[in-house]
Amino acid sequence: DTEVTQTPKHLVMGMTNKKSLKCEQHMGHRAMYWYKQKAKKPPELMFVYSYEKLSINESVPSRFSPECPNSSLLNLHLHALQPEDSALYLCASSPRGLAGVVYTGELFFGEGSRLTVL
C-alpha cells in the first residue's frame, strides 16, 4: 500500500471552476512533487517543494498553483483550466530535500488524481 495519499481520486470540473488536489505523506520526507501524466506518456514534473519551499517550477501555467502548508501536506489549486489539462496528477515524496543535499532517495508516488476538464 502506498504511504502517499491523494484526494480526490477522480475530479471532473468545468473551465470556470476552482478546485484543489491534496496530497499527504507521513514518512517524514522533506521533498514533495507534483507530476502530470497524460495517457501513454511518462510523468512530467510540474513542481518540487523542498523543506516546504518551492524549489522547482517547470514553467507551469499560472492556472496551476501549488501550496505546501507543512512538511506533510501538498496542495495543487486549479483555476480556469483547459480541456487539455485533463490528465492523471501524481504526487510524490522523497526522503531528502534538494537544498544542497545530495539527492539519494527514490520517489514514492501516490495513487494519483484523475482530472477531467469539460
**Binding residue for another protein (CB under 8 A) from 18, 58, 82, 118?**
58
DSSP state of 29: -
Q: Is the dihedral of CA 53, 39, 24, 67 positive or negative?
A: positive
End-to-end CA distance of the chain: 32
Using rule CB under 8 A, residue 51 touches another protein: no
Note whether 21 and 76 are within 8 A (CB): yes
Stretch that binds another protein, among 19-27, 62-70, 74-82, 108-116 (CB under 8 A): 108-116
CB of 54 to another protein, least distance (A): 13
Closer residue to another protein, CB minimum distance, 41 or 53? 41
User: Residue 48's closest CA among 31, 36, 70?
Assistant: 31
The Cα 99–Cα 59 span in angstroms is: 20
Smallest distance from the beta carbon of 114 to another protein, in angstroms? 8
Site residues (CB under 8 A) for another protein?
2, 31, 40-43, 45, 48, 50, 55-56, 58, 88, 90, 98, 103-104, 106-112, 114
